[in-house]
Structure formats: C-alpha cells, structure tokens
Amino acid sequence: MNARKVSSAFQLAWQLALLLLLLVAVGCMVGSDGWAWAQWRTDTDLILDIRLPRTLGACLAGALLGLAGALAQGLFRNPLADPYLLGSASGASLGVAIGMVLLSQLDMSLWFVRVGITGMAFMGAWLAVALSLVLSWGVQHTLRLLLAGVVVGVVLGAIASLLLVMFPQIQGSVQSFMLGSTAYVSWPACGLMLAVLALSWAASVAASPLLDGLALGESTALSLGLPVKSLRWVLLGLLALCTAAAVAQTGLIAFVGLAAPHLVRARYKGIHGKTLSLSCLMGAVLLGGADLLARGLMAPLELPVGVLTAILGGGYMLYLMRGMSSGSSAGRGGRL
C-alpha cells in the first residue's frame, strides 16, 4: 500500500512538472496581441525581458499560494481554509492604499522609495497576521485564531475602503491590485519569490510531521512527543511569509491556494510532506495556466487573472460541493 502511494505521488509530480514546463514554453509565445508562434527569433529581447519573467512569476506565485493553502488546511484541519484566512489579503490591500496615498500626497521620502508599493503590500499582509495572533492570544486556540483573522480582515478592509473614498484618485491603482495581475512581475521579483519558496518549502516539509499528528487530533500529536506549540508558530510564520510574498508581487489571486490542495488530494492521499510539495506544483500549474488564459483568451484585451481564477475556482468548488452533497444524500438513502 505504501509503495502504491509513493508511486502515485511520483507519477503526479512528474505529470505536473511536465505540464509546468509546457506552460512556461507556451507563455513565452503569448503577448499583448495574443498567440505569436513565429516570434522566437525576432522578439528575443521581448521574450527574455517581459514574457518569460511574467510566466515564471505567475508560476512561482501560484506555487507559494498552493503551499500556503496546504499549510492552512493542515494547520486548521479544515478543507475550506485558504491562505487569506488570517486577514493577509485585507492587510495587503490596506498597505497598497496607504502607499498610493503617500505617493500622491507627499514627497517620496527615502524610506518609501526603498520600500515601494510592493513592500507596503508585504508589510500590510504581515501586519494583519500579527494582529490576528495578538487578538487570539497566541496559537493555542485554533477557533479563536480563525475568528480573530475574520475580524482583522473586515476591519482592515473597511479602512482600505475608507481611504478609497477619501482619496478617489487612488481607486484605479488599488482596484488593479485587488483584481490581481502578473503584468509587472520582473526578474528581481521572480528571484525574491523563488528564494521565499525554497526556504518555505524546505522548512514546511521539515515541520510536516506536526500536520500528520494534528490530522489525528491535537492530543495525539502531543502524545507522540511533537512540539506542537513551537512548530505551529513556525508553520504560521511560513504561511504568512508565502502569502505575503505572492500577494505583494501579483495582487489578490483568488481560489488558487484553496483549490490546489483539493486537486492534489483527489489524486494522492498520504503524508503532508508529499502533499505540500505536490500542492506547490499544482498551484504553479493553476496560476500559470490562468495567466495564459488571461493574456490570450480575449487578446488584445487582457483579463485580470484574479477575476479569472475566481470564476474558474468558484465553479470548481461549487462542483465539488455538489458532488459531496449528492454523495452524502446517497449515503443517507442507503442507510434508510
């Protein structure tokens, strides 16, 4: 049975890896005018400077969100948990709104030039997670932490909306961030996301025995001698780091972090160490494919990739919920 699970995980991993390589190759041929199959030789600079970093950036952001989603669902033992559960999305939106206000109203001071809009989004996401932890008095009580995340998200979202009302000139920029886009991802952004992904993946896989123990219950994890409190802090920090790094570069991308672990578990049910790695690959494929569709579906008009993932991901989740509902109804009918 274990050999069959390992074979299933390996098979899924190489299938996703091949699909990811195909997406990167195709992404280099999709520009503002749609599909351009014959431009490999004539537009080398355009491919290397714009299309390739954008495609790789979409895949890296998807991998970060996939890893964050798998961590959230494992930590909270809830298949509906997503990376934005602790208010990081609202915090990032507030950070962007504050950054745009400073940019439009004040002279750019030295600290702001160095931090920039991306840095403000990153700081806002981290602020939201920190507030959630403070309001929940730590990581011991999962339900209290979830409620604190909901409250923080609502409050910070309301403050961001208030700034949009007070400073209408920033609405376009903030709205673009909230819809999600990979259009401005550059090579430095790809390098940053790759470094965060490598660090977070290695640390989360090393701490994954806690997720396996929590799947059996917190008391079971404690009886196995796992340092539940300290590892939970580590995994929450990794969750916040992955989410903040992805959101800061691509804006708010819906459903990728929620759907990627679900799609993995549909093919492989095993230890979290492999599930986390497969969720990274699945998230990269999902957002990379969505970015290609956003660019080429209605070219030269480009769709916001966050809107596209929300439509596709929402449809998938409705299909999944419908299947679960019909399955439970059939089960009740069988028992009757």
Q: pLDDT tens across 42-82, in order?
A: 567 778 888 899 999 999 999 999 999 999 998 888 888 88
pLDDT for position 118? 82
| CA geometry: angle 316, 320, 326, nearest 5 deg | 145
DSSP track, 269-302 = -S-HHHHHHHHHHHHHHHHHHHHHHHHHSSTTSP
Pairing of strands 34-35, 30-31: antiparallel
pLDDT under 50 in the chain at which residues?
A: 1, 38, 110, 113, 330, 332-336
Q: What is the pLDDT of residues 241-254, one digit of tens each?
A: 999 999 989 989 98
Structure-token pair, residue 274? 């492999």
With respect to residue 180, please indicate whether it lies within any of the assigned structural domains.
yes
In a domain, 156, yes or no: yes
Residues in the chain, how many? 336
- For residue 100, is it within any domain? yes
Q: Distance between CA atoms of 228 and 191, rounded to whole angstroms? A: 32
284 part of a folded domain: yes
Which of 274, 264, 306, 258 minimizes the C-alpha distance to 93? 306
pLDDT for the residue numbered 332: 46
pLDDT of residue 111: 52
Domain count, the chain: 1
Domain range holding 263? Answer: 2-330
Query: Dihedral through CA 143, CA 148, CA 154, CA 159, nearest 10?
Result: -170
Helix, coil or strand: residue 31: strand
- Residue 336 within any structural domain of the chain: no
Q: What is the DSSP letter of 35?
A: E
Residue 256 lies in a domain: yes
Query: What is the Cα–Cα distance from 272 to 174, expressed in whole angstroms?
Result: 36
pLDDT of the residue at 50: 86
The pLDDT assigned to 39 comes to 56
Arithmetic mean of pLDDT over the chain: 83
- Structural domain includes residue 318: yes
Domain CATH code at residue 315: 1.10.3470.10
Q: Please check whether residue 335 lies inside any domain of the structure.
A: no
